[in-house]
Amino acid sequence: MTVWSRITEFVQSLGDSLSGSLEGVTGGAKPPEKSVAFTIGMIALGAKMAKADGVVTDSEERAFFQVFHVPEKDSAAVTRVFNTAKQDIAGFETYAAQVAKLFGPKSHVLETVLDGLFHIAKADKVVHPAEIAYLEEVAGIFGFTGAEWLRIRARHVAIKDDPFEVLGVEPETKLAEVKRHYKQLVKELHPDKQIAAGVPEEMVKLATDRLARINSAYAEIERMHTP
Residue 107, pLDDT score: 84
pTM above 0.75, yes or no: no
Residue 179, Cβ neighbours under 10 Å: how many?
15
pLDDT class of 35 with cuts at 50, 70, 90: low
CB 39 within 8 A of CB 7: yes
Give tens-digit pLDDT for 142-182.
999 988 898 888 778 764 567 888 888 888 999 999 999 99
Task: Kindly provide the b/e burial profile for residues 187-202, where b requires at least 16 CB atoms within 10 angstroms of the residue's own CB.
Answer: ebbbeeebeebbbbeb
Give tens-digit pLDDT for 182-219.
998 888 777 777 777 666 666 677 777 778 888 988 99
What is the percent of the chain with per-residue pLDDT over 90, rounded to a whole number? 15
Task: Name the nearest CA neighbour of 43 among 68, 16, 11.
Answer: 68
The CA distance from 7 to 25, in Å, is 10
CB 78 within 8 A of CB 12: no
Instruction: Report which residue type is found at 20.
Output: G
> Is residue 99 within a helix (H) or strand (E), and if so which, with residue range?
helix 92-103
Residues 6+ apart with CB under 8 A from 86: 47, 48, 50, 51, 56
The CA distance from 158 to 6, in Å, is 38
pLDDT class of 17 with cuts at 50, 70, 90: low
